[in-house]
Amino acid sequence: RMDQALLLVRNELPAQGLRLAARSGSCHQCLYQFLAFVPPSNGSLRKPGTAEVVVDTQHPLTLQLNGSVSDTELCKIQYHFGEFGNYSLLVKTLSTSTKTVSCDLVINEGPINSYLPILFAFLVYTGTLTILIVGRLLMKIHAVRNWVYKKLNPRETDRLINSELGSPNTADSISSDLNPHLWSTASRQRLRSLDTFRGLSLIIMVFVNYGGGRYWFFKHDSWNGLTVADLVFPWFVFIMGTSISLSLSSMLRWGSSKQKVLGKILWRSFLLILLGIIVVNPNYCLGPLSWDNLRIPGVLQRLGFTYLVVAALELLFTRAGAESGTLETLCPALQDILPYWPQWIFILMLEAIWLCLTFLLPVPGCPRGYLGPGGIGDFGNYPNCTGGAAGYIDRLLLGEKHIYQHPSSSVIYQTTMPYDPEGILGTINTIFVAFLGLQAGKIILFYKDQHKQIMSRFAIWSIVMGIVSATLTKCSKEDGFIPINKNLWSLSYVTTTSCFAFILLLLMYYLVDVKRLWSGAPFFYPGMNSILVYIGHEVFENYFPFKWKMQDSQSHAEHLTQNLTATTLWVIISYVLYRRRIFWKI
Question: What DSSP state is assigned to residue 315?
Answer: H
Phi and psi at residue 443, in whole multiples of 5°? Answer: -60, -45
C-alpha span between 166 and 359 (Å, rounded): 49
C-alpha span between 135 and 212 (Å, rounded): 30
Q: Do residues 189 and 249 make contact, with C-beta atoms less than 8 angstroms apart?
A: no
Pairing verdict, β 33-38 and 18-24? antiparallel
Considering the candidates 80, 181, 220, 556, report the single residue annotated as catalytic: 220
| Buried/exposed code over 404-414 (b: 16+ C-beta within 10 A; e: otherwise) | beebbbbbbbb
* Contacts of 530 by beta carbon, 8 Å cutoff, 6+ apart: 198, 199, 202, 236
C-alpha span between 300 and 306 (Å, rounded): 10
C-alpha span between 152 and 146 (Å, rounded): 10
C-alpha span between 282 and 287 (Å, rounded): 9
Phi and psi at residue 467, in whole multiples of 5°? Answer: -65, -45
* Contacts of 250 by beta carbon, 8 Å cutoff, 6+ apart: 170, 171
Indicate the burial class of 482 (C-beta count within 10 angstroms; 0-12, 13-18, 19 or more): buried
* Contacts of 579 by beta carbon, 8 Å cutoff, 6+ apart: none
Q: Is 564 helix (H, G, I), strand (E, B) or coil?
A: helix
C-alpha span between 402 and 382 (Å, rounded): 23
C-alpha span between 539 and 280 (Å, rounded): 6
C-alpha span between 399 and 90 (Å, rounded): 50
SS (H, E, C) 161-217: HHCCCCCCCCCCCCCCCCCHHHHHHHHHHCCHHHHHHHHHHHHHHHHHHCCHHHCHH
Q: How many residues are there in the chain?
A: 586
C-alpha span between 40 and 65 (Å, rounded): 13
CB-CB neighbours of 84 under 10 Å: 18
Q: Do residues 385 and 365 make contact, with C-beta atoms less than 8 angstroms apart?
A: yes
Q: Do residues 441 and 242 make contact, with C-beta atoms less than 8 angstroms apart?
A: yes
220 catalytic? Reply is yes
CB-CB neighbours of 123 under 10 Å: 10
C-alpha span between 494 and 485 (Å, rounded): 9
C-alpha span between 533 and 573 (Å, rounded): 9
Active site residues: 220
